[in-house]
Each structure stands twice: as C-alpha cells, then as structure tokens.
Structure 1
Amino acid sequence: MNDANLDATDRAAEVLREHRESIDRLDAILVYTLAERFKHTQAVGRLKAAHTLPPSDPAREAQQIARLERLAEEADLDPAFAKKFLNFVISEVIRHHEQFLEGDA
C-alpha cells in the first residue's frame, strides 16, 4: 500500500472515529432526555391517578403526534419513524399512568 492510500485510510479512520464519538454523545443525550421526559409524565400520571382522570388522552396524543411529525419534517427526519417512536413512548407513558391508577407504582 502506498503512502497516499495509507493517508486516505488514516483520514477515513479518523472521520469514522469522529462520527462514532458524535453518535455516542447523541445517544447519551437521548437517554437523559427520555429520562427527564418520563419524570414529567410520571408526575402527570400521579396527578391523573389522584384525580381519577383517565390514563390516556387521545386528543392530546393525536396533537403530539402531529406536532412531532411536523418537527420531523423540519429536521429532515422521516415523519413515519418519528410517529412510530412517539407512539412507542406514549404507550409506555400510558402503561405507567395505568399503574398509578391501579396503585401499583
């Protein structure tokens, strides 16, 4: 392998390393952001349980999904993926709210 190929390979390895470091940082941000989000949704769940409100709010959920789809489009992210992701998060939130309502949490 000549020096030009080695230099190109070294540069590619460095760029790959930088991308991976960015991915690792972003994964940490996602995890901590989700944890913070769930702290708030759990507080909502406790409040709903205390006032015997239903664990699910379909109108709010539809509004949030539409909002996230718009944000995804603005961010150049597949809105269908964003919708699947939020639906997954919402289902977990509702599960927590149901547990609060049942007194399990």
Structure 2
Amino acid sequence: MNEEYRPSEQQLKDKLTSYRESIDNIDAALVYMLAERFKVTQKVGEYKAKYDLPPADKDREKRQIERLRKLAEDANLDPDFSEKFLNFIIKEVIRHHEQIREAEGE
C-alpha cells in the first residue's frame, strides 16, 4: 500500500493559524512603517509649503519608482505591483502636501 500522508484536521488548522499569525505580524509592521513614513512626509510637506516649493517632484517620483521596481525584482516581488503600491503612496503624499500648502495660505 502506497498511501500518501495527510495531516490531521487539527494539524492543518494549526499550520494555517501559524501562517495567519505571521501575516498579521507583517501587516502590523507595515502599518507602523507607513505611519512613520507619513510622519516624515508630513514634515516634507510643511517644509515645501514654508519655502513655496511644489507639492510634487516628478523627477524624484520617477527615480523612486525605478529604484523600487529594482528592489522588487531583487526580492522576487512583482515590479508592477510595487509600482502601483508606490504610486498610491505618492498620490496620498502629494494630496497631503497640497492640504498643508492650502492651510499655510490661509
């Protein structure tokens, strides 16, 4: 008899729980890292508003996207996904910078 081993239902549930706990920890780390990133970009927005600099910097955005695409490739992550993710973040940062600029102008 050549029966394939199959874990018990409890073993399956335990392994799935272990994976999900790791995912939860990673998600928490991502949220805290994004919060820290946005704290810094808030300061950048205030600096730009103070010195009347534009909210967006297309050259920097292009360099960042190229850099992140390369990092994604090195990490075996879909570069298109990383670009979409970074573009979303950049859009939010620019929106915040525009809000800061408007508040400074009042």
| TM-score for the superposition, normalised by structure 2 | 0.89
How much does 1:101 deviate?
1.0
d(CA) in 1 for partners of 2:58 and 2:13? 48
d(CA) in 2 for partners of 1:80 and 1:100? 30
Alignment of 1:6-85 (within 5 A): 7-85=7-85
How much does 1:11 deviate?
1.7
Give % identity: 56
Q: Which runs of 5+ in 1 are unaligned?
A: none
Match of 1:97 in 2: 97
d(CA) in 2 for partners of 1:85 and 1:57? 18
| Structure 1 stretch displaced more, 20-29 or 95-104 | 95-104
Aligned residues: 100
CA RMSD of aligned residues (A): 1.4
d(CA) in 2 for partners of 1:8 and 1:74? 37
d(CA) in 1 for partners of 2:67 and 2:13? 39
How much does 1:8 deviate?
2.7
Match of 2:87 in 1: 87
d(CA) in 2 for partners of 1:33 and 1:93? 15
The code of the aligned residue for 1:83 comes to E
d(CA) in 2 for partners of 1:90 and 1:17? 34
